[in-house]
Amino acid sequence: MLIADEFFLIAHNDTRGKAKLHPAAASFGLAAGLLGELVLYGHVTLAAGQVTVVDQRPPADALAHTVLDQLVGEHQHQAVRTWLSFLAQTAVTSVGERLARAGVLRRQETRRLLRTSVTYVPTDLNVAAWPATRLRAALERAEPPNVPDALLLGLIAAAGLTREVLWSAGPRAHHRLNLIIPALPAPLKELVGQTEAAVGAAVLRGIP
């Protein structure tokens, strides 16, 4: 699975499809996951609070392609925080739909009075729970996690989701997590730091 997909499952992996953290934290974490996918694909890089497109060739994934097109089309906007805020507006829906197309989630509409709310519920609870289980096991192993997993762990920490990964882990896992983020490649460490700042500011201002 892709970074944003696994973040979504860790943040929502219950039978009702409800977020397990502040909605703004979930949205910013997913937005960062989408940017992180493009960094890992080699399409963008981050430095000094700015995002720069370095390869305009379309990625294979349709959602990643859409995000890259947006970055290229609005190249005058380069601040990472601007793009996190922009992508956060639709990240839950766009990632939820990607997982629904893959058959991992099922789109569910609930009508109440004049409102219709949409949630994404797991089609298989074991599949939904797997990313958190896998990361917990990776932290318990002696060898360091690969770069995508390290980024995912960094975004989980930035969004305040570590309890979902570490709830049954031992002291080694807690210690390892504290070492992973400083060791990330510079663009990914920048992304994690910008995400943590965006989440903190949104929660402080009470943004839903």
Q: Is the pLDDT of residue 9 over 80?
A: yes
Q: What pLDDT is stored for residue 202 in this prediction?
A: 85
- What domains does the chain contain, in order, with CATH numbers? 3-203 (1.10.3630.10)
Q: Is the pLDDT of residue 52 over 70?
A: yes
Q: What pLDDT is stored for residue 122 in this prediction?
A: 93
Q: Are 192 and 157 in contact (CB under 8 A)?
A: yes
Cβ neighbours of 55 (radius 10 Å): 13
* pLDDT tens digits for range 68-116: 999 999 988 899 999 999 999 999 999 999 999 999 999 988 777 777 7
- Residue 204 or 22, more confident: 22
